[in-house]
Amino acid sequence: MKHTYHIHGMTCNGCRNHVEKTLKTVDGVTSAAVDLEKMEATIEMNRHIEINTFQRALEKERGNYSIHLPGEHLHHSKKDDKMKPKGKGTGTFYCPMHCEGDKTHDKAGDCPVCGMDLVEEQSLKTSSVGGKWTCPMHPEVVKDEPGSCPICGMDLVPMEPDLSAEEKTYRKLLKKFWIAVAFTLPIFLIAMSEMVPNNPLYKLFGQKYWNWAQFILSIPVVFYATWMFFERAYRSIKTWNLNMFTLIGIGAGVAWIFSIVGMFLPDVFPEQFKTEHGTVHVYFEAATVILTLVLLGQLLEARAHSKTNSAVKELLKLAPNKAVKVVDGDEFEVSIDAIEIGDILKVKPGDKIPVDGAITEGYGTIDESMITGEPIPVNKTEGDKVSSGTINGNQSFLMQAEKVGSDTLLSQIITMVNDASRSRAPIQKLADTVSAYFVPIVVLIAVVTFVVWAIWGPEPAYVYALVNAIAVLIIACPCALGLATPMSVMVGVGKGAQNGVLIKNAEALEKMDKVDTLIVDKTGTITEGKPTVEKVGSFSQDLNENDILEMIVALNSNSEHPLAEATVVYGKEKGAKAKKAEQFIAVTGKGVEGTVNGKLLALGNPKLMEYANAVVSDSMKMEAKEYQQQGKTVSYLSADGKVVGYVVIGDKIKKTSAKAIKELQNKGVAVIMLTGDNHETAKAVANELNLADFKASMLPEDKLREVERLQSDGKVVAMAGDGINDAPALAKSDVGIAMGTGTDVAIESAAITLVKGDLHGIVKARNLSDAVMKNIRQNLFFALIYNTLGVPVAAGVLYPAFGILLSPMIAALAMSFSSVSVIANALRLKQIKI
């Protein structure tokens, strides 16, 4: 029998191999082939097997995979719907080396591929525990305000968040480490006493009994403090996901088991393994010191890991727990979770803004540095937008909630940082390729080392062979290689978020370093994106300027374009009568059409006039040209195929645009401006910015074709834009950069989002990318050099010339600190200036 099933939850080849091997172990299965791209498994069986049997097998192997019949609707499992544990994290865990891509786990543990401790993602979802009250006798009672327990009457106490998963892991490792040290230190002293002339310990007991003492003291170290290393080693061999713990398990395990056999069956060993007292050399001190030092490395890594995502933790601290809600003039303090869209909130001086919204009454000076990276406070008045987590200055104001919970900018930033931190950079493929062959090669080198020393080594040859083979297994560190890229990416993405540069994935961070051509849109990117109407003119004797304005306002009331909003605001200021437009159509890159009072109106650029069969005369063009040469935008209005008026709209160039463009050009990046505006307006803006390369009257498809043309010429293209018309080019470019002030479509299409929305953010993104890629290359170089030099030295290549051998204990120390040093180097990115 042969059936095809859908597999849910696979993200990488490691997942595919794991699922395939698991399905093959099910009784009755003759063969199983898993296709990662199609997310399908084709299973051959000698009898019918229920799908639940396969599901149980997948769950038994600790994988978050599910199997379904083709076309079956995927429901969330009960496991997915469970409440996440309370704490500072989300209850979502991932591997710091990203062995499984962006796959996550719903409980703490270790990675099924590399064996490392899983790291908990940080999020706003559970950060609002503060501000709640609970009963010390009945913890199930949780209230939003102080009072008494409804069950026992005791006063409620402030509810403290639970320890985060990473803190629990650290404390557990710390406890095990001190236990390991307490038992390893005596073993080490007993073993080293053999080097003391007339060993005083032998006057108390013979060496045989001291060997037994070492054995008894080693049991808590092996079977409690570091037993997890052997579990991980066994699981890695069982699933054939060979990793660092495979080598540690084999190396330390061989030393410990060899010592046991030597104690119980000394006669099976040749004389060269024995001491002058007739006992076999034991290596309990080597095994326990190796395991304790590896545990120390894991402890230091756990502490260092907690610092790599410190940027997210700092962002989490911005989220307030309480807000002041105003209802019919009365003020109430409410939990942040109780705020709904449309609520009126009061923000007092010095308070954090609770949710995203707009000021409805009053004004304030807002410190947005924690989100935009810009230190200068921003003045906000009625109608202006404010963001959650930013800090109010010295005035009180009322605001209306517009986005709450996971929809706020702060929450979206945290989500984006978490997602980007888990993504894999293309440069990581090098580490993945090396890691795939690393462990088998190291084991082979250890075997060769043993054989060479056993045949050609000095006496006792077998002792030298065993010790050097163990040193080779212990010193090799695939984790340093695996951590090289993700640690730098995590710290770099967090650094970007603190400076208003949001990276969607690690690939964008890597590609930004290679960008040699930047395409920028004009409106909202180079300019403020806050256009104002400077003049409304009429070309018709039958219509005055107010008539033209009313037609323009009627059409643009249905449009979301910044230019349209400017005309509507101007119309209200001038008291223009509101008329209704019917059959409204937005013609992308050209303008808008609609019917007002039975007349077919069209408002837009010359291309729209052609589309509407309305002729723009030379005199009209000359009148428009005067404004266009000043950098203004002129839109024509036609009625029933005849051009009847125009509107002149100005949009100031951002103060940072000229400086940012110059800095990018100094870095060797060619800057090209593409705009849908006319040639004269584009030329005026380009001249002011010293831009030699620009193209005007560009439709969305023209911008897309220009990106494709540059890419075909071998250019690495970044595109910066803010509108719907920029979305195709943003998606096609090597790195799409969206202005945070732009449309959702543009932001969704981009790989990098600039919160503040000016070109200086692109300079920050480029500097960040350069720093992160340099850091990654340093990490990879260190990891490769460490292993390239460390393994041969441990094998004894320096012994013939210099008489130098590496103790397995020194090898364990070096291996532990190699991973820690990679993380420490990545943490240096926190100090860079971008």
Per DSSP, 156 falls in state P
Query: Which residues are registered as beta bridge partners of 717?
Result: 517
Task: End-to-end CA distance of the chain: give it in Å, rounded.
Answer: 61
Give the whole-angstrom CA distance, residue 241 versus residue 235.
Answer: 8
Query: Which residues are registered as beta bridge partners of 259?
Result: none
Q: Phi-psi bin for 259: left (phi > 0), alpha (psi -120 to 50), beta?
A: alpha
Tally Cβ neighbours within 10 Å of residue 579: 13
Give the whole-angstrom CA distance, residue 752 versus residue 677.
Answer: 25
> Which helix (H) or strand (E) is 786 found in, with range?
helix 760-795
Per DSSP, 611 falls in state H
Write the single-letter amino acid at 531: P
Asked if residues 678 and 627 have their Cβ atoms less than 8 Å apart, the reply is no
Q: Phi-psi bin for 591: left (phi > 0), alpha (psi -120 to 50), beta?
A: left
Give the whole-angstrom CA distance, residue 180 versus residue 195.
Answer: 24
Query: Which of the following is catalytic: 521, 651, 726, 758?
Result: 521
**Quick one: which of 484, 486, 471, 506 has its CA closest to 434?**
484
Per the annotation, the verdict on 521 as an active-site residue is yes
Asked if residues 571 and 543 have their Cβ atoms less than 8 Å apart, the reply is no
Give the whole-angstrom CA distance, residue 461 versus residue 451.
Answer: 10
Cα–Cα distances in angstroms (integers) from residue 151 to residues 148, 154, 333, 679, in the given order: 9, 8, 25, 76
Find where tokens 């125009």 sit.
646
Helix/strand/coil (H, E, C) string of 65-125? Answer: CEEECCCCCCCCCHHHHCCCCCCCEEEEEECCCCCCCCCCECCCCECCCCCCECEEEECHH
> Which helix (H) or strand (E) is 818 found in, with range?
helix 808-827
Asked if residues 380 and 367 have their Cβ atoms less than 8 Å apart, the reply is no
Query: Which residues are registered as beta bridge partners of 585?
Result: 593
> Which helix (H) or strand (E) is 345 found in, with range?
strand 344-347
DSSP H stretches of helix in 385-460: 409-422, 428-456
Give the whole-angstrom CA distance, residue 228 versus residue 233.
Answer: 8
With a CB cutoff of 8 Å and minimum separation 6, the contacts of 800 are: none
Query: Which residues are registered as beta bridge partners of 169?
Result: none
**Quick one: which of 472, 7, 439 has its CA closest to 236?**
439
Q: Which two tokens mark 667?
A: 């870095």
Side-chain-side CA neighbours of 274 within 13 Å: the count stands at: 13
Give the whole-angstrom CA distance, residue 543 versus residue 637.
Answer: 12
Q: Which two tokens mark 389?
A: 């987590």
DSSP H stretches of helix in 557-670: 562-573, 606-611, 618-628, 657-666
Asked if residues 124 and 157 have their Cβ atoms less than 8 Å apart, the reply is no
CA dihedral 53, 54, 57, 59 (to 10 degrees): -110
Strand-strand pairing, 40-45 and 29-35: antiparallel
Cα–Cα distances in angstroms (integers) from residue 117 to residues 106, 171, 301, in the given order: 13, 13, 10
Q: Which two tokens mark 218?
A: 């080693």
Q: Which two tokens mark 832?
A: 């860079």
Tally Cβ neighbours within 10 Å of residue 396: 15
Mind telling me the catalytic residues? 521
